[in-house]
């Protein structure tokens, strides 16, 4: 084999290899609907989003969970190209938020925390206005409006003015509007805030259907921890602009222990009892929550009678004690260390 042939074979192999690498990279990037890298936004002295990084697979439902002011909206607004980051980068469906805003905007649907419908118009008119703004071709417009009305269960109410819609119907119309352009990624900012329990659950099922049936990737910002637990494949807990931890709801629960004992004292100072329990080797973490002492345990093998006996021997009477699996709220308390805002869920 001459040097020339050998050289050309090596080059072919190199080309093949780099093609394969490029293809593999393309495939792995392709599977990521959202890539966020070091995204930061500073307002004056305040770092509202602080070096945020996470990735969301195509078809995944990802939750950003945090209290009011944690930085969720700021993050979503940057991803929606409506707010410039101070530093960092992100891409949606392969389009950079920094230099391909049109690409990003063509890939996303967004539902804002605050209602943004024209309540003097009918549902259909609201959708028609939006469809025109997005230059949806006339011949597809009516068909697509009918489709999203159907999807949102609002066909019957299409010609009613939005002022006469219930809160839940208005939220569903907003989601329907965001779906007009068939987005691959849906950004939902507190989509159920202010809704009653029943309507909220109905909304959850609607979002789940869009995600599971229609294959839409969902990025949900919420302070309702149950909402994220129900809807999300993975959750990132955000506090003071920083992502504290990311994992599946189950893995997050597993990460803080195997069980939780909640007990209420009948007498004796809570601090003294806390000190007593804190010393036990199988207590991972102890916290006070709403008058209860909550012990996160590294074992499922718990005898509540033994705990009550130990308390009694040390001069504490227990008025209530129960054993349960860790919840996502326990996870939040564990990582963020303060009570999650209580809501009537
Ligand atoms: P909420 O659900 O209450 O909106 P959040 O987690 O979405 O909470 P952000 O709205 O992102 O939080 O706000 C994060 C922090 O940034 C807050 O302290 C907020 O006051 C501040 N902030 C947001 N926007 C601005 C702005 N345009 N100028 C100054 N500060 C801002």
Domain ranges of the chain: 1-30, 33-252, 257-325
130 lines ligand 1 (CB under 6 A): no
Locate the ligand 1 atom nearest the alpha carbon of residue 221 and give its number.
7
CA of 47 to the centre of ligand 1 (A): 10
46 lines ligand 1 (CB under 6 A): yes
Asked, colleague to colleague, whether 33-252 and 257-325 share their fold, the answer is no
**What is the reported pLDDT for 187?**
96
Locate the ligand 1 atom nearest the alpha carbon of residue 77 and give its number.
11
**What is the reported pLDDT for 9?**
44
| Rounded Cα–Cα distance for residues 82 and 75 (Å) | 10
Instruction: Say which DSSP state 256 is in.
Output: T
φ and ψ at residue 244, rounded to 5 degrees = -90, -40
- State whether CATH 3.30.70.1340 applies to domain 257-325: yes
CA of 79 to the centre of ligand 1 (A): 15
**What is the reported pLDDT for 334?**
84
| Rounded Cα–Cα distance for residues 219 and 113 (Å) | 13
68 lines ligand 1 (CB under 6 A): yes
- Residues forming beta bridges with residue 285, ordered by sequence position: 296
| Rounded Cα–Cα distance for residues 94 and 101 (Å) | 11
CA of 73 to the centre of ligand 1 (A): 7
Residue among 63, 72, 239 to mutate when testing ligand 1 (max atoms within 8 A of CB)? 72
Nearest to 91 by CA among 117, 63, 53, 65: 53
pLDDT per residue, tens digit, the chain (345 aa), is 444 444 444 454 444 455 455 445 444 555 799 999 999 999 999 999 999 999 999 999 999 999 999 999 999 999 999 999 999 999 999 999 999 999 999 999 999 888 889 999 999 999 999 999 888 888 889 999 999 999 888 999 999 999 999 988 999 999 999 989 889 999 999 988 888 888 888 889 989 998 999 899 999 999 999 999 999 999 999 999 999 999 999 999 988 888 999 998 887 678 888 888 888 888 888 888 778 888 888 888 888 888 888 888 888 888 899 999 999 988 998 888 765 443 433
178 lines ligand 1 (CB under 6 A): no
Q: Tokens standing for 133?
A: 């703004």
φ and ψ at residue 94, rounded to 5 degrees = 80, 0
Do the bridges between strand 46-57 and strand 217-222 make them parallel or antiparallel, or are there none, so unpaired?
A: unpaired
Residue nearest to atom 20 of ligand 1 (CA): 69
Residue nearest to atom 25 of ligand 1 (CA): 43
Q: Supply the pTM of this predicted model.
A: 0.83
**What is the reported pLDDT for 330?**
87
**What is the reported pLDDT for 18?**
53
H or E element that contains 306: helix 304-313
Do the bridges between strand 108-111 and strand 283-289 make them parallel or antiparallel, or are there none, so unpaired?
A: unpaired
| Rounded Cα–Cα distance for residues 171 and 178 (Å) | 11
**What is the reported pLDDT for 268?**
67
- Specify the CATH number for 33-252; select among 2.40.50.140, 3.40.50.2300, 3.40.630.30, 3.40.50.300: 3.40.50.300
| Rounded Cα–Cα distance for residues 59 and 215 (Å) | 5
Residue among 50, 74, 82, 84 to mutate when testing ligand 1 (max atoms within 8 A of CB)? 74
Residue nearest to atom 19 of ligand 1 (CA): 69
222 lines ligand 1 (CB under 6 A): no
């Amino acid at each position: 084999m001459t040097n020339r042939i050998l050289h050309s074979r090596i080059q072919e192999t190199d080309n093949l290899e780099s093609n394969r690498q490029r293809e593999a990279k393309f495939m792995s990037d392709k599977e990521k609907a959202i890539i966020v890298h070091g995204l930061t936004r500073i307002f004056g002295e305040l770092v509202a989003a602080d070096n945020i990084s996470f990735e969301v697979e195509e078809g995944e439902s990802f939750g950003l969970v945090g209290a009011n002011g944690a930085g969720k909206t700021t993050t979503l607004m940057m991803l929606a190209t409506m707010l410039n980051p101070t530093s960092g980068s992100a891409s949606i469906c392969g389009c950079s938020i920094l230099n391909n805003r049109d690409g990003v905007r063509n890939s996303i649907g967004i539902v804002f925390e605050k209602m943004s419908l024209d309540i003097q118009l009918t549902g259909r008119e609201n959708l028609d206005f939006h469809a025109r703004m997005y230059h949806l071709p006339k011949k597809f417009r009516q068909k697509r409006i009918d489709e999203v009305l159907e999807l949102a269960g609002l066909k019957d109410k299409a010609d009613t003015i939005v002022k006469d819609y219930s809160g839940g119907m208005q939220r569903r119309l907003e989601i329907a509007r965001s779906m007009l352009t068939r987005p691959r990624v849906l950004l939902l900012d507190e989509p159920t805030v202010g809704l009653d329990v029943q309507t909220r659950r109905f909304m959850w099922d609607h979002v789940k259907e869009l995600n599971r049936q229609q294959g839409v990737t969902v990025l949900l910002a919420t302070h309702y921890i149950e909402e994220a637990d129900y809807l999300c494949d993975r959750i990132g807990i955000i506090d003071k602009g920083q992502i504290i931890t990311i994992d599946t709801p189950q893995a997050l629960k597993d990460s803080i222990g195997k069980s939780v004992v909640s007990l209420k004292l009948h007498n004796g100072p809570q601090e003294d009892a806390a000190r007593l329990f804190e010393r036990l080797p199988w207590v991972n973490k102890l916290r006070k929550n709403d008058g209860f002492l909550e012990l996160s345990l590294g074992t499922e093998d718990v005898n509540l009678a033994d705990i009550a006996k130990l308390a009694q021997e040390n001069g504490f009477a227990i008025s209530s004690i129960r054993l349960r699996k860790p919840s996502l709220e326990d996870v939040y308390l564990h990582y963020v260390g303060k009570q999650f805002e209580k809501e009537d869920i």
